[in-house]
Structure 1
Amino acid sequence: MKDAYERLIEEAELAMKDGPFSVADKGMTPPSGSKNDYMSISPYWWPDESKEDGLPWIRHDGKTNPASKTAETDSKRIGHFTRSVRALSLAYYFSQDEKYAKQGIEYIRTWFMNDTTKMNPNVNYGQGVPGRAEGRRGGIIDTRTLADRMLDSIAILSLSPAWTDKDEQQITQWYSDYLDWLIVDDLSGGPKGEAAAMNNHGTWYDFQVASIAYFLGNDALAKQMVQKGKMRVDTQFEKDGSQPHEIERTRAYHYHYFSLDPLVGIAQIGDKLGIDLWHYENKKGGSLAQGIQLMATYQDPASDWPYTAKDNPRRVERMTPIYLKAGVAMEKHEWIKLATETDFSRFTVKKNLAEVWAQRDIELLYPKQ
């Protein structure tokens, strides 16, 4: 716990200096003409070298185009913003040092509230592809961090004296408007939108809606999305726990993990609302538990992952919070042991932040049995 806490403070001290963050800082201007609109370029698309102008771009799954990760767009910026506020909020919670709360709150005001710097509550121009689309439904995967990192952070920071009634009103209004966009826009809630995606994208959409609805006190909508999690189990899991939609990807191990992560989050929301997603089985015998067990079977990096080889070396430590959360919920002590006995000593804040956060989940944030 001491090691995890020290790494948290190290990250929070870096976060104190890194912001503030604003969508208005990007170099490119969205088709709307407003830099307040979020904008990103789809990471696996590249110029067509056979065309003089490179248009339309073509897809190379699993191969990230560096142009999608620059300051010209917002995809790196939103990740940096949300992880910084997450670090500051938890540093405030555990240290009770108001400096972390004040900085985190200022970052939130810049991103969500101030007229000149705020993000408009839509993802109309997310993951655009030059020559093909100004924005695509897959852009909503970019904003998952506005739910899975930000909502708990806001709840924690709202305990600070620096958080005002106006802050509360404005953040509630922003998320209410964003939830409305998630439900009604063709890219998101429409019949061909992200809500209908059959792989991890669809589950992350469901998680955003469920968690924001719960955050806003809309329990009826949150319950509906948890129930929809059963459809995700029906359509995504085989009896052995494998996920065919993710096996198709060039990084099948990563996407198996990346699909389980939001579904576990939905199951945790279900716990709060009296709906059990943990033990639901589809007609094939597939389940969330089977999906997690498949990953546990191959937790040893030396084991031979049966699908694509492009994940090697596999980042198996990222799965450990899932083992702990599910292990506690389902009384699977072997999963809890797998998580708590993982060695995180070689990882650093500056090079291995995802693994450092996995350790933080295990040592600081979730109860162990």
Structure 2
Amino acid sequence: MRAPAKPSVCRAEEGYAAAFGGRRTFYLKPDQLLAIKAARDSDPVVAKAYAALIERADVALKRKPGSVMDKTTIPLSGDRHDYLSIAPYWWPDPANPSGPYIRRDGEVNPKRDTRSYDRTAIGRMSSDAETLSLAYYYSGERKYADKAAQVIRTWFLDPATAMNPNATFAQAVPGRENGRAEGVLDTSAFQPVIDAVGLIGPSGALSDAENKALEAWFGRYIDWMLKSPTGREEQAAKNNHGMWFDAQLTHYALFARRPEIARKTVEDFPRRRIAVQFDPSGSLPAELTRTRSFHYSIYALEPAYDVAEIAACLDLDLWNYADDKGRGLRKATDFLSAYRGQPAAWRYKEMRWPAGELDALLTRADWAWGPGRYPRSGEGTLALFYRTDTR
């Protein structure tokens, strides 16, 4: 697998640093961000998005950095530094309110996003780090870099507030499980943080020692992912969870300067994920059984795209890979793109049609396979302003 030439080149664990003034990013590409920055004042659509970005960043400037110490529930370990959340689709049983929770697929229990747990805090940390770093890059104002560094330092490095590098108690189900393999998905919130660290690099807001400490933290988290029973179970998942595991592992491995782990995961991806989870038609059968089947089909392709981005950093090409039955990212993208603007044609269950999610996916597809391959709305091209989602 050889990756096609690109305007800016990601070079293994150094990312785009050489082509991006020392900014060690892995997803955010110099040519794309430079083009947006150049259009900041002249293009009305870009100007509007930039104003919204700065508005969000100014709110984040005033916000106290979140940490795992903010939750009101103590994990079973007794250590508040351990991350804790509850599974999104599990609810109290009306027939037995004090008994084990029951599953309601696609319906999120609002208790998940309360101060009882860490789910809200990890999402806000990720969003604030991303927003502030982008605001620094596009505006050049040092205050945004300093605040981004504070947000990152509080979550990962400060001994008083830092998260322990594990997700043992993530996505617990009261009355059933103290933590689940699916909880590893929660830490995909760290992916935008890594590129945020790269964007603020030239500011010096994080010292060299702090950058090394962050790499070490992610190295310990990689070890937990690969060696713990929870991590190994999630790695074995044969739906979107397995692909999100690979997306995190490859990204974190390059950041932690352990490229051999990223390379093995990428090389195994066709056999381990595409051959197992992709249908020759382009569908992802495991996602079609969900109450939000179109959403989850997109949601499964997003991490596959992430792995393809990291593969390119290793001079490997997953974007154009197809097996002898035609299974690959391009076929799966074509399958979903055919339903753009045609929700009535989708014959599987879908509670809320995710038009915006499809547009964002096709924006990335257009970057991967060439301009004009996947028509989408103009504002979709501004996805570079934000990568954070609500996983």
For normalisation by structure 1, the TM-score amounts to 0.88
The answer as to whether partners of 1:5 and 1:364 remain within 8 angstroms in 2 is no
How far does residue 364 in structure 1 lie from its aligned partner after superposition? 9.2
Give the count of matched residue pairs: 341
Partner of 1:349: none
Q: Distance in 2 between matches of 1:7 and 1:317?
A: 18
Q: Report the Cα offset of residue 19 of structure 1.
A: 2.9
Separation (CA, whole Å) in 1 of partners of 2:155 and 2:298: 29
Q: Is the counterpart of residue 178 in structure 1 residue 227 in structure 2?
A: no
| Mean CA deviation greater in 293-302 or 84-93 | 293-302
Query: Which one-letter code corresponds to 2:132 in the other structure?
Result: L
Whose relative contact order is higher, 1 or 2, with alpha carbons under 8 Å and at least 6 apart? Answer: 2
Which residue is 1:164 aligned to? Answer: 207
Task: Report percent identity of matched pairs.
Answer: 35
Aligned positions of 1:85-234 closer than 5 A = 85-147=129-191, 149-189=192-232, 193-230=233-270, 231-234=272-275
Matched AA of 1:296: S
Q: Distance in 2 between matches of 1:87 and 1:363?
A: 8
Residues 1:266 and 2:288 are matched in the alignment: no
Flag the 1:26–1:363 CA change in 2: closer, same or farther, 3 A: closer
1:327 and 2:366 correspond: yes
Instruction: Summarize the Cα distance change of 1:168–1:52 in structure 2 as closer, same or farther, 3 Å threshold.
Output: closer
- Residues 216, 256 of structure 2: 8 Å contact kept: no
Q: Which residue of 2 aligns with 1:316?
A: 355
1:88 positional shift: 0.2
Alignment of 1:346-361 (within 5 A): 359-361=381-383
Stretches of structure 2 that go unaligned for 5 or more consecutive residues are: 1-45
1:36 corresponds in structure 2 to 81
Structure 1 residues 36, 13: closer, same or farther in 2, change over 3 A?
Answer: same
Residues 165-200 of structure 1 show CA distances to partners (whole Å, capped at 9, x for unaligned) of 2211221121111111111111002xxx10000011
> Cα deviation per residue 1:96-146 (whole Å; 9 max; x = unaligned)?
100000011011111111111111100010000111111110001111111
Q: Distance in 1 between matches of 2:47 and 2:386?
A: 9
Unaligned runs of 5+ in 1: 345-357
Distance 1:244-1:74 versus aligned 2 partners, 3 A rule: same
Question: Could you tell me how far 1:64 is from its partner in structure 2?
Answer: 1.1
What is the CA deviation profile of residues 70-95 of structure 1, one whole-angstrom value per residue up to 9, with x for unaligned ones? 11101111111101110000110111
1:255-294 alignment runs, 5 A limit: 255-294=296-335
What's the CA shift for 1:327? 2.6
Contact 1:41 1:128 in 2 (8 A): yes
Q: TM-score, normalised by structure 2?
A: 0.83
CA distance in 1, matches of 2:355, 2:96: 40
Stretch moving more, 246-255 or 268-277: 268-277
SS of structure 2 residue aligned to 1:333? coil
Matched-pair contact (CA < 8 Å) for 1:86–1:153: yes
Task: Report the CA distance between 1:60 and its aligned residue.
Answer: 1.2
In structure 1, C-alpha distance between the alignment counterparts of 2:363 and 2:94, rounded to whole Å: 46
| Alpha-carbon shift at residue 343 of structure 1 (Å) | 4.9
Give the secondary-structure state (helix, strand or coil) at the position aligned to 1:205: helix
Whole-Å Cα distance in 1 between the matches of residues 350 and 279 of structure 2?
21
Q: 1:18 to 1:294 in 2, by over 3 A?
A: farther
CA distance in 1, matches of 2:125, 2:244: 19
